[in-house]
Chain A
Amino acid sequence: MSDLTKLTLKGAVDGLKAKDFSSAEITQAFLTNIEAANPTLNAYVEVTADKAMDMARASDARIASGEGGVLEGAPLGIKDLFCTEGVQTTAGSNMLRGFVPPYESTVTANLWRDGAVMLGKLNMDEFAMGSSNETSAFGPVKNPWKSTGSNADLTPGGSSGGSASAVAADLCLAATASDTGGSIRQPAAFTGTVGIKPTYGRASRFGMVAFASSLDQAGPITKTVEDAALLLQSMCSFDAKDSTSLDVPTPDWTASVGKSVKGLRIGVPREYVVDGMPTEIQALWDQGVAWLKDAGCEIVEISLPHTKYALPTYYIVAPAEASSNLARYDGMRFGHRADQFSSLDDLYATSRAEGFGKEVQRRLTIGAYVLSAGFYDAYYVRALKVRRRIAEDFDNVWGQVDAILTPSTPSAAFALGDKQIDPLTMYLNDVFTVTTNLAGLPGISVPAGVDSVGLPLGLQVIGKALDEATVFQVGAALERAAGFTAKPGQWW
């Protein structure tokens, strides 16, 4: 039997169904890989080996009796932001070290309903606040990719760095992730994997540790576009426990993969050319345009005039929502409580100073500032108005185009430690992805090539609200044209 861990999710599900191999076999193969790789890559913060084998054997029993769901027996990694009943969930923070949820997130419950197997919980930036995985209380994740001729450790991106690294290094078939400003798509681009953030409201936020509630969405990181469609279908559902959950049916997105894109109109926004963007990113984008043209798409130059304001808007809206959401960590009912304190107020402040890392503290401080009396209108309300302008930019072009093509990130993966000095440099990572969070639109990152030092680069396809079908259709066309098959060398 060839190496089971190299299979795609679709390939594995089909092989399991055909009884070519058992879930216990493939699960064990992944656990062996994780054991060898994790001390170096640090992708998992907790490996649930016993639970995985129990779930695998239960799947095998269901397959043997002719039952089984669409993901039956498939071993997955779960970002440590999804609450998993009886399994520690930390969101990468010391604040939640030792927190064991007594309930299951809706997204993961959907996966178990469909027969998936949990291998463990994946590392991430603390409370999903970061673009390099370096804010995690469990230490940074390493990217399995390295530049040609360099031994420097690279970031897998963030905040879903553990998810991206684990998928790229064959430490799971696919992984769950979450995206508030680009946290699925940027790590996917940095690791040669596929990542999609669906339309806001498609995936339930119940049981996801909250960062910025009007922006947070769950989605998968996978090896192929088809796998992303398959896994996202399982993750999404209407959920009465999330007040912003959309009561709409989840389509069969796998049916969109492989469909011809002939006649589709693809927008290329001129504002996505940013200062200092490497020529290789521009070249890849041009290549993507050429591929889609060859496939019969009509290319339309479009304008999204408020694009440059998306990041500053995000850095008001997201910290403001975070400062409200994270007020719950007061050291009283759950989470870290300081040992030494002089008063109740001091207990709150000391618990939070001890429990939260530097970047989280920075964002909570910004959030408290922009919401404070005297600054609320000047910062927060203004940002919400600019947010509408950004969303209207998209509304104004949907008459002319069916989807939009952009680069996923303004650079390839950078070295760990490189961008920690200046928070603004780090924030610029999300320049191409953050607009879709603000507007609530679906966006996919597809690996499309490598740069001059062999690092993967991604292209992003943005679609209309609830039109993931076209996003998958165009993403799969790019995947076919790019024929991206590069894999990182196994140095760990």
Chain B
Amino acid sequence: MAIDAATVRKVAHLARIKTPEDRLEPLAQELNGILQWIEQLNEVDVDGVEPMTSNVAQPLRLREDVVTDGGKIDAVLSNAPKSADGFFVVPKVVE
């Protein structure tokens, strides 16, 4: 499953990281190196093994569906790159 420049372009888009054209080929080589090393996982017999998604042997807790916090507009907006009148300001999305 070798990665080529086209695959890197696609994955960089999925990761939303702008990647210049001249970086695609070097990145493909790097990723191939890492993925080749990862291929050794194919040696392991995992038949019938349940994927391990957590190492906490307890079900996730549920809490009462009630408001416990809120009304902190200033705190929420305090790190916004841009805000106005209690709202986040983002670039125009719909033409």
Contact = CB atoms under 8 A, between A and B. Distances in A.
A381 B88 contact: no
A388 interface: yes
Interface in A305-352: 306, 308-309, 312-313, 315-316, 323, 327, 330-337, 341, 344-350, 352
Interface string A356-374: 1000011011111100100
A348 B8 contact: no
A313 B53 CA distance: 13
B27 A388 contact: no
Contact of B60 (A243, A308, A364): A243
B40 A309 contact: yes
A312 B15 contact: no
Contacts of B27: 362, 365
Given A369-B3, A385-B52, A362 B44 contact: no
Interface in B1-58: 1, 3, 7-8, 11-19, 27, 30-31, 33-35, 37-38, 40-44, 46, 49-58
A386 interface: yes
B15 A440 contact: no
A103 B91 CA distance: 28
A306 B41 CA distance: 10
Interface in A363-400: 364-369, 372, 375, 378-379, 381-389, 391
A73 interface: no
Contact of A353 (B19, B56, B80): B19
Nearest to A214: B54
A476 to B, nearest CB: 26
A365 B18 CA distance: 11
Nearest to A240: B63
Given A369-B3, A389-B44, A243 B61 contact: yes
B67 interface: no
B40 A315 contact: no
A11 interface: no
Contact of B78 (A100, A367, A391, A438): A100
Contacts of B75: 102-103
Contacts of A389: 44, 46, 49
A169 to B, nearest CB: 32
Given A385-B51, A388-B52, A309 B18 contact: no
A424 interface: yes
Main SS at interface, chain A = helix
B66 interface: no
A141 B60 CA distance: 38
A272 interface: no
A423 interface: yes
A200 interface: yes
A379 to B, nearest CB: 7
Contacts of A299: none
A110 interface: no
Contact of B15 (A315, A323, A381): A323
A201 interface: yes
A71 interface: no
Nearest to B94: A344
B23 to A, nearest CB: 10
A424 B35 CA distance: 10
B56 A352 contact: no
A337 B33 contact: no
Given A243-B61, A334-B80, A214 B49 contact: no
Contact of B56 (A201, A306, A333, A381): A201
Given A309-B44, A440-B55, A316 B18 contact: no
Given A369-B14, A382-B41, A438-B55, 18 more contacts: A99-B79, A102-B72, A102-B76, A102-B78, A243-B61, A244-B60, A323-B15, A332-B88, A334-B79, A349-B13, A350-B18, A352-B15, A361-B17, A385-B46, A386-B44, A388-B50, A389-B44, A424-B37
Interface of B: 1, 3, 7-8, 11-19, 27, 30-31, 33-35, 37-38, 40-44, 46, 49-58, 60-61, 63, 72, 75-76, 78-82, 88, 90-91, 93
Give the 10 A-B residue pairs with the shortest CB-CB distance, closest first: A440-B55, A384-B51, A334-B79, A337-B81, A102-B75, A385-B46, A388-B52, A349-B18, A368-B15, A353-B18
22 contacts: A99-B79, A102-B72, A214-B55, A309-B43, A315-B38, A331-B81, A332-B80, A333-B76, A333-B80, A334-B81, A337-B82, A344-B90, A364-B15, A365-B8, A365-B11, A365-B12, A365-B27, A367-B15, A381-B51, A385-B52, A389-B46, A438-B55
